[in-house]
Amino acid sequence: MKKIAIIISGCGVFDGAEIHETVLTMLHIEQLGAQYQCFAPDQTQHHVINHLTGEEQQDSRNILIEAARIARGDIHDLATLNVDEFDALVVPGGFGVAKNLSDFAFKGSDSKILDTFKETCQSFSIQKKPIAYLCIAPALIGHIHPSGTVATIGNDTDTATASEALGIKHVACSATNIVVDSQNKVVSTPAYMLANSISEASQGIAKAIEQLIDMA
């Protein structure tokens, strides 16, 4: 049975992991007969957003503790992830990817990414194990994979331009479809970068997970 690692960047679309995308990832992995284990960095998230009003709160939260809400407590510190124990990796989207795993939300093509996240992803890549990046997560591919890696964030011009400046070859793609770089074993789908419903996001994520498991 294939075993897939999932890296969660918090809890909530505006300051953490996109919950629908993360849960759909878990669901599709399980429905395809594979297993998953969740991980998140044990550190303070960039900031806290009130998801009802969209306003920033004067609060401090831990990424791992917040991510544990989605994982129902079954989650480990990203620093403990042993790549040898897994066949593939998935990185769901949400602003946590661009605020907690990196500073892409603020610095775009001048961004940096979290060392433990970069090292983990590169370890999967070095071992020729596939990685699926969902939603905004493909924007970080240029920090991790060889220049020219093919990927998508959907069709947002500014995000695509910043991502290309970091080294990816961007391909426009609908929410219900995927882009595959077979040579670098990278799969991407726009998910809620474009999706207008959970059903629409699910279609693209299902295809991404199926492709990921086939490549593993």
Is residue 135 part of the annotated active site? The answer reads yes
Cβ contacts of 184 within 8 Å, gap of 6 or more: 125, 145, 146, 149, 150
Rounded Cα gap, residues 56 and 15, in angstroms: 9
| E strands present in the chain | 3-7, 35-40, 48-49, 56-57, 75-77, 88-91, 131-134, 150-151, 169-170, 179-181, 186-189
Which one is catalytic: 11, 38, 121, 135? 135
Catalytic sites, residue numbers: 135
